[in-house]
Each structure stands twice: as structure tokens, then as C-alpha cells.
Amino acid sequence: AENEQPWGTPCTQLLVFVATPGCDGFPSLDSKEGYKLSVSEGFLLLSADAVWGALRGLETFSQLVGRDENGTYYINKTEIVDFPRFPHRGLLLDTSRHYLPLRAILETLDVMAYNKFNVFHWHIVDDPSFPYESLTFPELSKQGAFNAMTHVYTASDVQTVIEYARLRGIRVIAEFDTPGHTLSWGPGAPGLLTPCYLGKDPSGTYGPINPILNSTYQFVTSLFQEVSSVFPDFFLHLGGDEVDFTCWKSNPKIRAFMKEMGFGEDYKKLESFYIQRLLDVISSLGKGYIVWQEVFDNGVKVRPDTIIHVWKNSMPYPQEMANVTKAGYRALLSAPWYLNHISYGQDWMAAYQVEPLKFEGVPEQKDRVIGGEACMWGEYVDATNLAPRLW
């Protein structure tokens, strides 16, 4: 008894058993992430249906290992059966309002893996800047990035992010938001944005993408052709939020088009006209899509398999969740998790108290909630304060 160790039998190895082999693919909405972890004296076993579950189990295992005062590593006996409640557990980073260096994105992916997040929603471009280097339209970043040399994501950077994420079981969903939120696209794509008018004359400013030109649809087809081959995930995020109609209303050619189409003064119809054509383009490329809730709210005809991303609180978000799922669409919730909104004192509790399924609806509606995303918009966030504000 004198030489008996304070701990039980030394653990020398963790056996990992994966039922379905294969580590070369990409994770998807349907990935199996469940695992079983058995820790008993002299025997450690992690078993999973798929490699994605094994990754989650390894993460749990690493978090169970402790160290005593002598520096000895130990793990307590346990049996864990674990699987995700929701298949989409995402985080949005905005790399347009402030550029985030590659290092900051990779670091975020690491911490996402610690917390078993599985979707990186890359809101890569927006009004302030266009850091994505397009092979098809190199002028977009040359003219639209904060700095065309230092503040861009090259093709190689994007591949690095996608692979770094894949190895952690994280999907990368790119968002190229149109027809609004596109001011940075203008300098590199002449003729794409709508010229705004003051009275009879162009004011020199630009509004959303011009939805009445054939050249617009040729442009978005070519751009999204590239984007859909660069980003392997089945889903693209197409935005569609916060379209300001002021500029469209000021433009005489657009007013004439509205008349011709019989849209009256209803600019939501013009927005729908654009979005529907865009969705047809994306479908033809064999991709699925996620859109912000305005697309649903404004009555755009979308495919039944569209995912509606709920972010607003103009009506309480549980009501929106009920409406979206009642209409038969899948829903993704972000409204209660805008982490860029900070306040004095302890504001983190509210985020943990959210119950995504707390809305009026039948069980089939609840089943249409695929999960949620925390959003970190970049107006006041760059590499210096991203990590502490996020985590």
C-alpha cells in the first residue's frame, strides 16, 4: 500500500472508434456530431458515427483532463453520451466595417471549436469595404478594399480559412449581401449601382444595385459562379436586408421601369423582382441559400427549402419565428445574440437565458428551427478588441 499511487491505473491511451470512416469531406447541415465517451479505470474509449462527432468528443475529453498540485494529469471516471440539440450553431464575423487580419479569424475558429460551434458565417463584404479578392472581378477589391495590398483576403487566405475551419468541423458560409449594403462594390464595378438623382440631375451618389439592367444580372451570375466554386458549403448567405428605396425612387429610369412593370409605387415589388432573379441564379448554380428576414417579410417568392435568418426586434422575434416556421420555412435565430451591442454591467446573462423554441407553434414548426448564430458586427470591433468582446 505504501507505493500505491494516489490516482488509479495510469491511462496511457484514448481509443477512438469512428463507425463511418473518411476525413476528407466537408461538414454540412446533416453532419453527425454525436459521440460517446467512456472513462473507466485503465480504459478510455471515444466512439462516434462520424469524424465530426469524434472531434467534438476529443474536445470534451480535453476539457475533462485536470492537473493536481504535483503536475500530474488526471481524469475522473465518467460516461458521456452527447449530441447537439441544433445542427446550426454559428458565429458571424463582419470583415468589411473593420478588416480582421487572417490571424484574428483563425484564432476565432479555435475558440469556436472549444465551444462546439460549427458554422462560421463570414460577412465578408459590405458598404465600407470589399476585402474579398475576386479572380473574376479583381477591380472590386482593388477599388473597394480599405487597402488593396494589406486589407484584402487573397484566394489563398480564403482557402486557409476554409481548411482551418474544416479540420475543426466548422462550415464556412460566405455572405455577399445584395442589393443593399453594396456601396463598396461601386468603384470596381461601374454601372452596377443605381445613380441617385437630385431633381432632374444625378447627385453623384449611388444607392443599391441597379435591378433594371441586364448587365446587373450578368455581373451577379459571374460573381456568384466564382463564389459558389470557392466556398464548398451547400449554402450561400445572400443578405437581402435593409434595402433603402430612396435612391431608386429618385431615379427617372427606375420610375419608368416601375410603371412599365405595373409595380405602381410599391418598391418592395422591385426589390422582389431583383431577389427572385438572384435566387434563380443561385439555384442554377446548385446551391442552397439563407436570407435575412426582410426577404420573407416583404413577400418575396422563395424556394420552400430557403432558410430565413431572423435578426430584427421590430416585432418581438418569437412572433417572427412563429410566422416563418408557420409558412413552412426553416428558421435561423440571431435576434437575441447581437454581441456587438454592449452595455454597462452584467449583460451576458440574457444571452444564456434565450430559449429558441419559445414561440407559439405546433411541433412541426419547432422542428424547422435549425439553430442560431451569434453576431459580431464590426462598426466598433477590430482585431484589438474582438476576442474579449466575443468571448
Q: Torsion over CA of 355, 357, 358 and 361, rounded to 10 degrees?
A: 180
Q: With 0-12 CB in 10 A as exposed, 13-18 as middle and 19+ as buried, what is 388?
A: exposed
Task: Write out the DSSP string of 16-60.
Answer: EEESS---SS---TT----EEEEEETTEEEEEESSHHHHHHHHHH
Catalytic residue among 163, 242, 265, 360: 242
Beta strands in 97-243 (DSSP E): 119-123, 171-178, 193-198, 201-209, 235-239
Q: What amino acid occupies position 126?
A: D
Q: What share of the chain is helix, strand, coil (3-state, %, to 5)?
A: 30, 25, 45
C-alpha to C-alpha distance for 337 and 157, rounded to whole angstroms: 28
Contact 321, 369 (CB under 8 A): yes
Helix (H) or strand (E) holding 349, with range, is: helix 349-352
Please confirm, yes or no, whether 226 is among the known catalytic residues: no
The catalytic residues are 242
